[in-house]
Chains A and B, each alone.
Chain A
Amino acid sequence: MSNEELESQLSAMFDDELPGSQCELLARRLARDEQLRARWGRYAAISACIRGEQGVRLETALAAKVSAAVRQEAVPAAVPPPGVAGRNFFNPWVTSLGGIATAAAVAAVAILWMRSEGPAMVARNTQVATPVVRALAVQAAPDATVADTGAANAVPVAATASRKSREPDSYVVPAQASQGPALLAPTELANYIVAHSEFSGPLMGRNALSALVAGESAVPQVTAQPIPATVVPGK
């Protein structure tokens, strides 16, 4: 590169009009080349003169003092390049993902807690919950089969045990569901979901969360079961 081209670049860099890549190369040279740096200093003095600033001097006493003081300073600690440091923490994507992860963790804890604590709680509240569930089931499916099935799963354990032998197996109740109050909560939830799904979508559309809440081991086992014709009213 010729001297004139270099000096032309220096002039453009002084005006912040040099492309970034060329700036980096020239900055490296400028930091080492005293002649070039002196020229840079004169450009600054000329600029100050044209703008009519007071006290412009060509000698660089202030710059020399600062330079001497800086030579005695420790090198500033290395930091990541501008645009990187300290921004990830506030990155909207990171913040959003963090929020989603937190929400998912809270939901998982709540589900696990429900599965472990739910049966005992439901055993205590069965008498209160039963009429509501039964009403829901009857309202949702006036056909006798569905209403009986829903009601059978919602009535107290004692009544269920006595009627169990003459009622058909529920398609949503696992075989051991009638063996004790421990599985009442999943049963109630499952029946509610089935009743609700008549209006919101087919049984095949149950999602993994429903299966998890209902305490079933795997979704395919549930969805593979045939849907009784009596589930949907009018069919």
Chain B
Amino acid sequence: MTADASDLSLVQRVQRGDKGAFDVLVLKYQHKVVKLVMRYVRNPAEAEDIAQDAFIKAYRALPQFRGDSAFYTWLYRIAINTAKNAVVARDRNPVDFDLDMTNNDESYEMQGRLKDSETPEALVLTDEIRTTVNAAIANLPDDLRTAIVLRELEGLSYEEIAATMDCPVGTVRSRIFRAREAIDTRLREVFEGGLGRAEEIG
């Protein structure tokens, strides 16, 4: 088994012209990239814009990606550079948010996005998602909960988890899958509308 084989297989598909494979990579790493960019900008909407730029730059540069490093390491560097450049550009050209001073459509649009991303409803929704996930994890059987926590929080490999839990690697794989399915089922029960939009991509 090669490290990072899943990302590499997706990257190779993108390099052969399969744009759908790039959507899969974006879905996997969007949260990490936004979180990374948030170190440089406080505004969530601005962070999402920068993350979007970073992904598009990564797509354009993907023919040069040779697999010498992990895909996320490569994407991480692009995101960091994009965020730094965005901060420098913003400081040089501060945006005037005075709506009375301009009729520029872009300013209206940006103002709208900023408001939308910071709405109390959005914050409540995020909290509600976290609460639902935590409750679902709490209701898992011990072996499933331990496996998913060791994987997601501690970042252990399946082999390391198998050694920790004293069970075969195949059992670890099955436990993590069942844990994810249980959490996913609970999320779908609570947030049907939000989840439906995830399927519009592509």
Contact = CB atoms under 8 A, between A and B. Distances in A.
Interface residues of B, number: 83
A86 interface: yes
Given A37-B24, A83-B66, A46 B187 contact: yes
A37 B26 contact: no
Nearest to B128: A58
By size class, the interface of chain A is 35 or more
A47 interface: yes
Contacts of B187: 42, 45-46, 58
Interface in A1-36: 7-8, 11-20, 23-24, 26-28, 30-32, 34-35
A53 B126 CA distance: 10
A51 B59 contact: no
B146 to A, nearest CB: 13
A44 B31 contact: yes
Interface residues of A, dominant DSSP? helix
A48 B126 CA distance: 11
Interface in B60-91: 60, 62-68
A62 B34 contact: yes
Interface string B138-173: 000000000011011100011000000000000001
A17 B157 contact: yes
Interface of B: 1-24, 26-32, 34-35, 38, 44, 48, 51-52, 55-56, 59-60, 62-68, 122, 125-126, 129-130, 133-134, 137, 148-149, 151-153, 157-158, 173-174, 176-177, 180-181, 183-184, 187-188, 191, 194-195, 197-202
Given A41-B198, A59-B197, A82-B12, 18 more contacts: A15-B158, A27-B10, A27-B13, A30-B21, A31-B23, A35-B199, A38-B195, A41-B201, A44-B31, A50-B148, A55-B35, A55-B126, A56-B130, A62-B52, A63-B30, A75-B17, A83-B67, A86-B66
